[in-house]
Structure 1
Amino acid sequence: MLTGTVRRAQGGLYEVETPDGVIEAVLRGRLKREQRTGEKVVVGDRVDVQRESTGEEEAWTIENVHERTTVLARKAPGKAPRPKAIVANVDQVLVVFAAAKPDPHLRMLDRFLVIAESSDIAPLIIVNKVDLIGIDAARAIFAHYERAGYTVMYTAAKAGLGVAEMGEALCGRLSALTGPSGVGKSSLLNAVQPGLGLRVSAISEAVNKGRHTTVTAQLIPLECGGWVADTPGLRELGLWEIDRDQLHFYFPEFENLLDDCRYPGCTHTHEPGCAVRAAVDAGHIHPGRYDSYRRMYAGEQEEGGWDG
């Protein structure tokens, strides 16, 4: 029996990094029947594997999946209400958006941040392709996230801008790289660690959206230490298992105002004497962020319905 970390999962076959090297394993039948939150095994999971001999052939099976310390999950596409785990046991999530091509969808960014905050995973915002519009224009779009307390890095994979700083943020940690399709996640990883050769694709000029160049999540070892999970680009992002009454805790710019509302249990949507709404009116909270909060509180999911 060996313990290892799942590096890649596709088609029922799992690539596991163990002390004895990388092996391929399948899931033990009883584990397939057990009910677990989200997928039974995802990239980043710690698993116990065992080798079995059948005649002249040897095969590895996953016998046990360790308890996850963190899990990044979203609502699975479709009508059936169920979670879809993206990656497990990460220390931080780097949320990548492009300054242009495709144009940044900030309400989607807000959803990524809420998912990270609610999962107790530290988020880091990466704004890529800043060379397309200039660093000053990019900062103007994303400056209110910095004011809210988030760390924002500005990069241009092709020009090498910000690549070294992003590499430093990845070293020694288990990180997830996520974001919409076409924002340059794989290009950034290729720039951070030359020689990876991850597949990249151009933006469709017709729809200004990227193609899915990463089709399955994979855990990539870094030469400087640590791992990074390159995840498929997402075009939809539904919230899963987030308590609506806890939602205000996942907007850090609200934190110092929550005790100043007139009414206990204030929803910050309509009540008089709401300190959050007053901060929006005074320009201390960005109206776009507040609009995202209201939409999420009201249950306006990109895939429909509140899942809390």
Structure 2
Amino acid sequence: MLEGKITKGIGGFYYVDTEKGIYECRARGIFRKQKITPLVGDRVKISIVDEEAKKGVVEEIDKRDTELIRPPIANVDKALIVFAVKNPKPHLSLLDRFIVLAEKENLEIVIVLTKADLDDDNTLENIASIYELSGYKVIPVSNKTKLNIDKIKEELRGSVVVFAGPSGVGKSSLLNEIDANFQLQTGEVSDKIKRGKHTTRHAELLKLECGGMVADTPGFSSLTLDDIEENELKEYFIEFYNYGDCKFGSKCVHENEPGCGVKEAVENGEISKQRYDSYIQLLNEIRQSKQGKRRY
């Protein structure tokens, strides 16, 4: 059998990149019976059905190192979470959702702030200060001025990277700037609603001239945290790690408990209050979701 990686999946067909080229494959029915859906990024073994037509069958799927739900990508090393400084206005609670889900998969995270040339009210500096204090790398970019395009290429080199973020922030435009061979379809942001059109219809792994592979994925307007438990959420706010000396130890959820090191760090300005407030918001959302499920 031939080994390869799924780079695209559309309508039950999986396109597998191998040393002998790309094969259009169906998956064995056994996967459906086992309730396993092949994902873009899966390392697979295929049998050849028609060499001339480059058609095959996915026979085996290797164990996944990571698995994202939205976007549905396997075996990603790094997440570049892309938000615009302006147009559309950045919603940091949504950014924190992306971060939590990427942290859950133990991905390296880089925050990319596009449209830096439009920053006229220090939005970029304010966002960067919040997330750099939290321990994340923040890279402002501009397609117009070519700001930090080379830095993004360095982040991509040698890795399998997922580009994630809401619609309209310029993910596809940035990818086109990084590698002109992509020429991905891009959409203008509506002047009326200030949201982007969904220009990416499916997840796809794209080979980079600078090395590595990147996943271009559909934009999202919401992300749920259904698979995260109440006492688990704090593990995905990495700035809490150094302030876990709480009276109630590992049982502390850093909310109303007395003697909480995290709350003290927030009061002292060592942890961003915006990030802490976002944590509490997500914590309450998880509780409400669990209560709703129990009710029904």
The answer on whether the counterparts of 2:133 and 2:272 sit within 8 Å (CA) in structure 1 is no
1:35 Cα offset (Å): 2.2
Letter in 2 for 1:142: A
Rounded Cα–Cα distance in structure 2 between residues aligned with 1:58 and 1:107: 45
Determine the structure 1 residue equivalent to 2:223. Answer: 237
* Aligned counterpart, 1:41: 38
Structure 2 residue 78 is the aligned partner of structure 1 residue 92:
yes
User: Residue 118 of structure 2 aligns with which residue?
Assistant: 132
SS, match of residue 220 in structure 1: strand
- Who is 2:185 aligned against? 199
Paired residues of 1:73 and 1:240 also in contact (CA < 8 A): no
Match 1:63 to one of 17, 35, 59: 59
TM-score (norm 2): 0.92
Corresponding position of 1:52: 49
Give 1:180 shift. 0.5
Provide, for residues 247-281 of structure 1, a one-character-per-residue CA deviation record: whole Å limited to 9, x for no partner.
212111111111x2112211111111111112222
Q: Quick one: percent identity of the two aligned structures?
A: 40
Question: Aligned partners of 1:6 and 1:297: how far apart in 2?
Answer: 36
What aligned pairs does 1:176-255 form with structure 2 within 5 A after superposition? 176-255=162-241
**In the alignment, is the contact (CA less than 8 A) between 2:44 and 2:60 conserved in 1?**
yes
Within the candidate set 254, 259, 263, 2:248 is matched to 263
* Aligned match of 1:81: none
Task: Provide closer, same or farther for how the CA distance between residues 58 and 300 of structure 1 changes in structure 2, counting only shifts above 3 A.
Answer: closer
Deviations 1:177-209 (A, max 9, x none): 111011100000100112321010110111111
Give every structure 1 segment of 4 or more consecutive aligned residues whose post-TM-superposition deviation is greater than 3 Å.
56-59, 134-137
Could you tell me how far apart the structure 2 residues matched to 1:157 and 1:41 are? 34
In the alignment, is the contact (CA less than 8 A) between 1:31 and 1:64 conserved in 2? no
Identify the match of residue 287 of structure 1 among 254, 257, 273. 273
Please give the secondary structure, in 1, of the residue aligned with 2:289: coil
Alignment CA distance shift 1:272-1:11 (3 Å)? same
SS at match of 1:210: coil
Aligned length: 290
Distance of 1:71 and 1:59 partners within structure 2: 26
Name the Cα RMSD after superposition: 2.0
SS in 2 for 1:298: helix
CA distance in 2, matches of 1:108, 1:233: 12
Distance across 2 between alignment mates of 1:73 and 1:240: 11
Deviation per CA, 1:36-66: give whole Å up to 9, x if none.
3xxx11111111111236xx98841111111
After alignment, is 98-107 or 291-300 more displaced?
A: 291-300
**Cα distance 1:240–1:121, how it changes in 2: closer, same or farther (>3 A)?**
farther
Matched position secondary structure for 2:255: coil
Give the gaps of 5 or more residues in structure 2: none
Q: How far apart, in 1, do the equivalents of 2:54 and 2:78 lie?
A: 37
Runs of 5+ unmatched residues, structure 1: 75-84
Q: Say whether the 8 Å CA contact 2:22–2:54 is kept in structure 1.
A: no
Instruction: Give the alignment's TM-score, normalised by structure 1.
Output: 0.89
